[in-house]
């Protein structure tokens, strides 16, 4: 049996070497559809067991398939903010597998070019906006696409002002599911976020690329007041999934302490932009220890070291 499997994989690999981009996309979707069918039919106690990736960075595609199939969401419209070139994202599988429609937003034009190159713009109903997203323009960008009120999904990953943009975006839309990236290095205890600056850029803010976003507790605090419950974080420890209370059904509320996952990926950068592979909870955190965050419980601005009580930080690394 093992030799037959190995032979089959070798043949598939040889075929892929000469395959077109379109053929590879079709193969990815075929594998994804098979995974989605298995996920939808299961009853899972741990939603992370649903994880699989077709276009998502980690296992978000699988978790979303499970949530959508068990929640009875009636509106198949999405908004995804922060998609880069739309080859690695949280909504493309919903678009291609489930025929959802929606809006994607990022700076530049790479995402627009992908829609044209891969034929997504004519095969599906999807719009793309090019903008540096801020809390001042996010409502207008969504409204300009004709989207308001109930939608199926909002996914947000802009590596910076995520908390502040989310707070404003929810004034005009009511997603059934919200996926938001949290900064695992900020821990599970404190509701903190980087201070708002319309021009906040993660790399310019600190060369390490580790200073950005908000803690999971910050998003939970905000979204609880908006009528959402945390149900899971992915196993990579960067994306959290919230569902609207009136659609939550069988999904119990997860506490921040239980939902928080300590990330293990190492994406720190050096002055030349090259990866330095620092532990974001150790050496990496010490690099940014004196940078400011806002404590959302008190409204005070203080250093990361002060917010986290200095535990495990030690002296700042130069």
Cβ(312)–Cβ(190) below 8 Å: no
Segment 182-198 mean pLDDT: 98
| 314 assigned to some structural domain | no
- Residue-wise pLDDT tens digits, 165-184: 999 999 999 999 999 999 99
User: Encoding tokens for residue 96?
Assistant: 């291609």
| 316 assigned to some structural domain | no
Among 174, 142, 175, smallest CA distance to 64 is for 175
In sequence order, which residues have a C-beta less than 8 Å from that of residue 297 and are 6 or more positions away?
Answer: 190, 191, 221
pLDDT of residue 20: 86
Q: Rounded to a whole number, what is the distance in angstroms from the first to the last CA of the chain?
A: 55
Question: With the CA atoms of 17, 19, 25 and 28 taken in that order, what torsion angle do they form, in degrees rounded to the nearest 10?
Answer: -50
- Residue-wise pLDDT tens digits, 30-46: 999 999 999 988 899 99
In angstroms, the Cα distances linking 159 to 8, 164, 189, 314 are: 41, 12, 20, 26
Among 74, 113, 71, 119, smallest CA distance to 95 is for 119
> Which range of residues forms the domain containing residue 111?
2-307
Among 195, 197, 244, 239, smallest CA distance to 216 is for 239
Residue 143 phi, psi dihedral angles, 5° rounding: -65, -35
| 209 assigned to some structural domain | yes
Q: What is the CATH number of the domain that holds 43?
A: 3.40.50.150
Strand bridging mode 192-193 / 173-181: unpaired
Q: Taking the CA of residue 275 as centre, how many other CA atoms within 13 Å lie in the half-sphere pointing to its CB?
A: 6
pLDDT exceeds cutoff 90 at 241: yes
Among 315, 318, 293, smallest CA distance to 304 is for 293
Among 221, 193, 220, 194, smallest CA distance to 206 is for 194
User: Reduced to 3 states, what is the DSSP secondary structure of residue 305?
Assistant: helix
| 259 assigned to some structural domain | yes
| 257 assigned to some structural domain | yes
- Residue-wise pLDDT tens digits, 257-291: 999 999 999 999 999 999 999 999 999 999 999 99
Q: Per the structure, how many domains does the chain have?
A: 1
| 300 assigned to some structural domain | yes
What is the Cα–Cα distance from 306 to 279, expressed in whole angstroms? 20
- Residue-wise pLDDT tens digits, 44-84: 999 999 999 999 999 999 999 999 999 989 999 999 999 99
| 317 assigned to some structural domain | no
- Residue-wise pLDDT tens digits, 125-167: 999 999 999 999 999 999 999 999 999 999 999 999 999 999 9
Q: Which residue's structure tokens are 């999934």? A: 241
| 181 assigned to some structural domain | yes
């Amino acid at each position: 049996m093992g030799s037959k499997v190995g032979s089959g994989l070798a043949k598939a690999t040889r075929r892929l070497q000469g395959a077109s981009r379109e053929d590879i996309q079709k193969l990815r979707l075929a594998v994804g559809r098979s995974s989605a069918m298995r996920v939808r039919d299961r009853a899972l106690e741990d939603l992370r067991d649903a994880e699989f990736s077709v276009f998502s960075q980690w296992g978000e595609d699988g978790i979303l398939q499970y949530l959508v199939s068990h929640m009875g969401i009636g509106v198949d419209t999405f908004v995804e903010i922060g998609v880069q070139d739309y080859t690695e994202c949280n909504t493309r599988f919903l678009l291609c597998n489930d025929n959802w429609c929606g809006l994607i937003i990022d700076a530049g034009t790479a995402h627009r070019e992908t829609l044209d190159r891969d034929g997504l713009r004519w095969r599906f109903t999807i719009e793309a906006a090019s903008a540096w997203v801020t809390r001042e323009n996010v409502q207008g960008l969504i409204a300009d696409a004709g989207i308001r009120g109930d939608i199926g999904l909002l996914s947000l990953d802009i590596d910076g002002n995520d908390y502040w943009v989310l707070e404003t975006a929810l004034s005009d839309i009511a997603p059934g599911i919200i996926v938001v990236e949290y900064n695992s290095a900020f821990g599970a205890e404190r509701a903190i976020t980087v201070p708002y600056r319309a021009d906040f850029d993660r790399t310019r803010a600190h060369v390490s690329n580790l200073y950005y976003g908000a803690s999971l507790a910050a998003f939970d605090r905000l979204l609880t007041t908006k009528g959402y419950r945390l149900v899971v974080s992915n196993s990579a420890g960067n994306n959290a999934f919230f569902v609207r209370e009136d659609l939550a059904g069988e999904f119990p509320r997860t506490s921040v302490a239980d939902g928080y996952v300590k990330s293990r990926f190492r994406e720190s950068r050096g002055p030349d932009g090259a990866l330095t592979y620092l532990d974001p909870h150790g050496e990496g955190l010490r690099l940014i220890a004196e940078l400011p965050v806002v404590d959302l419980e008190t409204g005070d601005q203080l250093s990361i070291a002060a917010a986290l009580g200095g535990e495990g930080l030690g002296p700042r690394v130069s």
